[in-house]
Amino acid sequence: MKGMSWWTRLAWPALGLAGILAVVVVAPHLGHGREGHVWTERAPGQAPAATAPSPAWVEIARAAKPAVVNVSTRGTREGGPTEELLRDMPGMRELPGRSPRRSVRGLGTGFVINADGYVLTNNHVVANASEIRVKFADGREVPGKVVGGDEKTDLALLKVEATGLPVIPLGDSARLEVGEPVMAVGNPFGLEQTVTTGIVSATGRSIGAGPYDDFIQTDASINPGNSGGPLINARGEAVGVNTAIASGNGGSVGIGFAIPTNMVKPIVAQLAQTGRVTRAWLGVTIQPITKELAASFGLPDTNGALVSSVQENSPAARVGLKQGDVITKYDGRTVARSNDLPRAVAETPVGREVPVEVMRDGKRVALTVKVAQLDDDERQAAAAAEPAGARLGIAARPVTPEMARSLKLPEGQGVLVERVEEGSRAQTAGVAPGDVIVEVNRTPVSSVRTLQAALAKHRAGTPVLLLVNREGQSLYLTVSA
């Protein structure tokens, strides 16, 4: 999948020829049943199937399996198998012929969240499908229709023409404890109704899947084909949607990831109502705060999200948020890590005025931001910047007027990094050829000479703070002394 490295998404697709099956990997979130929700929740006072810490897995599995479905798809793909599919699915081969479009079949998992036929699965399981079939544990197979999907969270809501279906209620994933027992149900490698158990290994995991990463990690065995299946707690509630694994061979090594249901619920509610997800937009690029950055900015710790750039005419710009600010609170919620902020902003109703607290030059500043709607052309600006590393050893030259205009820099500002010495401190820090160094230790740089002068003034033994412009995006880097 695009952007995947050490982790793999969990759907089970196959290309074209009958009998040839190959493995893919992925999964996402939903809500409407009791009290107007798309999903079903356990009624107040209703006894759970079992209560922790002694889960009756036999009873829980017996109750859950009828609500877990096999989701098979048929569609087409532009061109031949993509590089990522070839990498993740050894043995996949092209169909004969020269047609630019290829027939593709896929297999994943889903589960019923509303008795009137709403099924939750991963978006990657059903994306670009021309035909969807949903197969129940009792052997019934019916057509499925996509109500809506969200690529950012990899969730999709399906509808089948059926009523009175067994459901798995969505639980409160915020109550999960590390070490708590959980069960996964799905169709790994096409083996229907497979049940595995394990524990919650960690919560709040970021795996580089996108700006809204907040995964549950589990050692319950999940494999390709489990995408979209439920992760169930000892109360018989779904607390996550199985979506990815960390694996070097495409199979389970005991490190799996599920989307928490508390992230799923607002997404599903929007999909059920409008078929799409609308998110709020602040208009800042942010990055994590390392110990070196905290020291350079005079911060007491590494909590918060460092603003590396503010987009023009954005909600943030209109209220005076500045480059170098550290956002510590958003709408009353503490921003402990930088990736807390994109999720909090995304959950904010568009047009709402939200209190924001920042640290600026050692002082707390309170602002009120009226968030706008995130449009497709603003998504890149809203994504959190990747953290960078830190060392000097570069060759640089002045920025031409043409380059300054293309990067929207004031003319005469910045120097272009032409070469980074192998093994240098700059390379270790993440400085790359093509970067434009705009500031050194919060001092603007306009030429190679001013860059050298700023470095000459730097206090020995402390990290050098650089502000660089990389392909139009600003990024702070710390270079070790």
Q: Which residues are catalytic?
A: 124, 154, 227
Asked if pLDDT for residue 279 goes beyond 80, the answer is: yes
Mean pLDDT of 96-114: 72
| pLDDT exceeds 90 at position 398 | no
Give the number of other CB atoms < 10 A from CB of residue 158.
27
Do 1-276 and 394-479 show the same overall fold?
Answer: no
Q: Count CB-CB contacts under 10 A for residue 408.
A: 9
Indicate the CATH number for domain 394-479: 2.30.42.10
Is the pLDDT assigned to residue 107 strictly greater than 60? Answer: yes
| Helix intervals (H) in 281-385 | 291-296, 315-318, 340-346, 379-382
For domain 1-276, give the fold.
Thrombin, subunit H (2.40.10)
CB-based contacts of 253, cutoff 8 Å, min separation 6: 245, 246, 247
What's residue 212's pLDDT?
82
Q: Is residue 47 very low, low, confident or very high in pLDDT (cuts 50, 70, 90)?
A: low
Find the range with the poorest average confidence among 140-154, 213-227, 420-434.
420-434
Confidence of residue 46 (pLDDT cuts 50, 70, 90): low
Token pair recorded at residue 30: 């939903």
Q: Is the pTM of this model over 0.85?
A: no
Per-residue pLDDT of 57-67, as tens digits, reads: 999 999 999 99
For the chain, what are the domain ranges? 1-276, 280-382, 394-479
Model pLDDT for residues 72-94, shown as the tens digit of each residue = 998 765 443 332 222 232 222 22
Select the highest-mean-pLDDT range: 73-82, 244-253, 267-276, 440-449. Answer: 267-276
| pLDDT score of 376 | 47
Is 458 in contact with 445 (CB distance < 8 Å)?
no
Residue 331 backbone phi and psi in degrees, to 5? 55, 40
pLDDT at 385 over 90: no
The average pLDDT across 336-344 equals: 88
pLDDT value at residue 29: 33
Q: Under 8 Å CB-to-CB from 111, ≥6 apart: which residues?
A: 64, 67, 68, 69, 119, 120, 121, 168, 185, 228, 229, 230, 238
Annotation: CATH topology of 280-382: Pdz3 Domain (2.30.42)
**Are 279 and 341 in contact, with CB atoms under 8 Å apart?**
no
What is the reported pLDDT for 90?
28
